[in-house]
Homo-oligomer: A and B are copies of this chain.
Amino acid sequence: MLDKIRIVMVNTTHSGNIGAAARAMKNMGLSRLYLADPIAQIDEEAIQRSSRADDILSNAVICPSLEDAIAGCGLVVGTSARSRSIPWPLMNPRQCAAQASTAAQAGNEIALVFGRESRGLTNEELQLCNAHVHIPTDESFSSLNVSQAIQVICYEMRLAFTETGPQAGEPWGVEWDYPLATHEQLNGMLQHMEQALIDIGFLDPDTPKQLMARLRRLYLRAGPDKLELNILRGMFAAMQKQAAANRKPDHNELNEGSE
């Protein structure tokens, strides 16, 4: 089941960290490394630091963006050292592993996303995630090396995935009836929602404030399944139909004026 997990490294600067991450993954039985817009290459240093985990390096998937790297995933968790302007669901590594294990058992792909060495993930990147995971640290020295962070998270994943039976962290405690919506499906739904809100005059695209970020957080937190997503999109389509119909009377008035 650990093969349901992608480790996604964003904008990584040091090839040694990519190699060390590959080794940490392989130690824990993970194998799927995604590099989103990497700055470093898979070079000699990466291979040396991987210490015979070079099969993971050879099979690494290099993507132009984080969005590409998390495509198809039902659960996307980003690592975060800081608390954000908008609070987002936050787990510790153990809770994260329990939730990932449940999601994997239900057949979902999972992405665990790690940011750049200098400054982690951006707010925009963190807002692509269903939830965030924070590795507890000393407050005065909170920045882990990225390969060390990957080691800790992969260690918790191994424990959660190889222990028998469902863990306490089961997100909903029951067998679910529909698969979770993928990242792209969620994004598509949110884009549809944004347009519908503009159409009905609720969202002003010139002064959007944090409206969509807050709605994004709400729906990502809920982790909608595919049926729920279809219901929401049906609702947005109906909203747009009403808005379109309201544009017609103007048309009719014009017709009346010309008659």
Contact B218 A222 (CB under 8 A): yes
Contact A175 B222 (CB under 8 A): no
> Of B27, B142, B248, which contacts A27 at CB under 8 A?
B142
Residues of B within 8 A of A200 (CB): 235, 238-239, 241-242
Q: Mark A40-74, 1 if CB is under 8 A from B, else 0.
A: 00000000000111000000000000000000000
A252 at the interface (CB under 8 A from B): yes
Contact A148 B222 (CB under 8 A): no
> Of B134, B177, B231, which contacts A215 at CB under 8 A?
B231
Residues of B within 8 A of A23 (CB): 144-145, 148
Give complex CA distance A81, B175 in Å: 14
Q: Which of A5-13, A88-96, A100-108, A119-127 contacts B (4 or more CB under 8 A)?
A: A88-96
Give complex CA distance A29, B142 in Å: 9
25 contacts between A and B (CB under 8 A): A20-B145, A23-B148, A24-B144, A24-B145, A26-B138, A26-B141, A27-B137, A27-B141, A27-B142, A27-B143, A28-B138, A51-B145, A86-B177, A87-B174, A88-B172, A88-B174, A90-B172, A95-B173, A131-B172, A135-B155, A152-B152, A155-B155, A172-B221, A211-B231, A218-B224
